[in-house]
A and B are shown apart, each in its own frame.
Chain A
Amino acid sequence: SYELTQPPSVSVSPGQTATITCSGSNLGEKYISWYQQRPGQSPVVVIFQDNRRPSGIPERFSGSNSGNTATLTISGTQAMDEADYYCQAWDSSAFIFGSGTTVAVL
């Protein structure tokens, strides 16, 4: 079955750039969504179709996808961005979520 691999954690200083990767075989051929999940809350989509932002999501969130790796970038990271982030793809008629990355803003 298809797997999406993410680093368990990423640390970033306030105002700096956080980069979260999601790896999978030929991932660039699939569309990727990214979800933010703050502690105790439901997930919220921050990026869909690789690089599109839903209305209401700050411009500091951006995405890219090429080769075997998709990337979520948070520019000018704020304390409120501290959360778990999950990538998601569609493969063989199933939705696959990544293992999740905890972003710590230190």
Chain B
Amino acid sequence: QITLKESGPTVVKPTQTLTLTCTFSGFSFTTSGEWMGWVRQPPGKALEWLALIHWDDDERYSPSLRSRLTITKDTSKKEVVLKMTNMDSVDTGTYFCAHTSGGFGGLSVFDVWGQGTMVTVSS
């Protein structure tokens, strides 16, 4: 059974860099077609995909946020890390770690989600 757990700061200041960690268990993240990544949700609003990383370190980003995002992984620690620079109040929301299967494309599905971590951007 795959489980994901997010961790990181609950509050960041405007212009700061947010660093979130997803710790996973129940799989080795060495299978072709498996990706891990991040989806966020502002309070009361819709889900928004941010980034994905493949087991072979292939990285994919939301085009609208690409310049601010970096996703990395440490398979030995079973961690996936997301960095988002230049945080603003509009970035306030819940950040979910997610596992996908089906490759990167139309067959992909976010099949396992973490519990999410709320991040507030405030001075």
Contacts and interface: CB of A to CB of B under 8 A. Distances in A.
Nearest to A84: B46
Contacts of A43: 39, 47, 96, 110, 113
Contact of B47 (A1, A49, A86, A92): A86
A53 B24 CA distance: 24
B108 interface: yes
A12 interface: no
B106 A90 contact: yes
Interface residues on B, range: 20 to 34
Interface string A9-43: 00000000000000000000011010101000011
Interface in A49-106: 49, 54, 86, 88-90, 92-100
A94 B46 CA distance: 16
A96 B39 CA distance: 11
B46 A98 contact: yes
Nearest to A99: B46
Nearest to B50: A95
B110 A45 contact: yes
A45 to B, nearest CB: 6
Interface string B102-120: 1011111111011110000
A92 B46 CA distance: 20
B62 interface: yes
A7 B14 CA distance: 34
A51 to B, nearest CB: 13
A97 B47 CA distance: 6
Contact of B49 (A42, A45, A94): A94
A95 B38 CA distance: 11
Contact of A94 (B63, B109, B114): B63
Interface of A: 1, 30-31, 33, 35, 37, 42-45, 48-49, 54, 86, 88-90, 92-100
Interface of B: 39, 45-49, 60, 62-64, 96, 102, 104-111, 113-116
